[in-house]
């Protein structure tokens, strides 16, 4: 049950809540964007039984279909095709640090070896696409075009950098 204390996990109301949540997530699995399901796969790596093994395998395969030729993922590829930015600007279709860092981290949390091709290519993308001067990874907002130097613009870069560092260091 994730990282909760064992004495807390053993409480009957907690057990029932986890069962209810697992049932809900299994039933609504396909209704969610691939971005949301990335977080679900991460939770499933920490909570046995949260997803069926077939759902995990299907999700990992689906990530593979969205991986770009350069080894990364774009945030746009992880949301539903009908997603539109509030300002009407097109979503960035190129690989970015947020999507690549998140997916690479989640794959490693799910047990993928760094030598597994999907993860290996993502780690190589992260290694080659860090802004060496700033130490960060590029990313852009799904909501609207933002100035990268604004607080919201830096937030996306900070999130991309956090997931990228987690992926590259193999933290579990």
* pTM score over 0.75: yes
Handedness of CA 41, 47, 51, 53 (dihedral sign): positive
Reported confidence tier of residue 2, pLDDT bands at 50, 70, 90? low
Please enumerate in sequence order all residues whose Cβ is within 8 A of that of 69, keeping only pairs 6 or more positions apart, or say none.
none
Cα separation of 55 and 26, whole Å? 8
Residues 3-41 pLDDT 10s: 778 788 788 998 888 888 888 877 888 888 999 999 999
Residues 104-154 pLDDT 10s: 999 999 999 999 999 999 999 999 999 999 999 989 888 878 877 888 778
């Amino acid at each position: 049950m994730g990282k909760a204390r064992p004495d807390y996990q053993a409480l009957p109301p907690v057990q029932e809540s986890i069962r209810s949540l697992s049932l809900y997530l299994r039933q609504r699995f396909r209704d969610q964007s691939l971005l949301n399901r990335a977080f679900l796969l991460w939770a499933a790596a920490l909570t046995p039984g949260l997803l069926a093994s077939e759902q995990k395998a299907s999700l990992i395969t689906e990530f593979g279909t969205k991986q770009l030729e350069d080894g990364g993922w774009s945030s746009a590829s992880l949301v539903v095709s009908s997603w539109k930015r509030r300002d009407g600007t097109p979503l960035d279709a190129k690989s970015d640090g947020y999507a690549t860092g998140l997916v690479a981290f989640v794959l490693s949390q799910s047990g993928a070896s760094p030598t597994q091709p999907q993860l290996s290519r993502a780690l190589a993308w992260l290694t080659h696409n860090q802004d060496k001067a700033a130490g960060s990874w590029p990313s852009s907002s799904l909501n609207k075009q933002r100035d990268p130097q604004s607080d919201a613009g830096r937030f996306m870069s900070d999130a991309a950098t956090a997931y990228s560092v987690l992926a590259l260091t193999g933290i579990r």
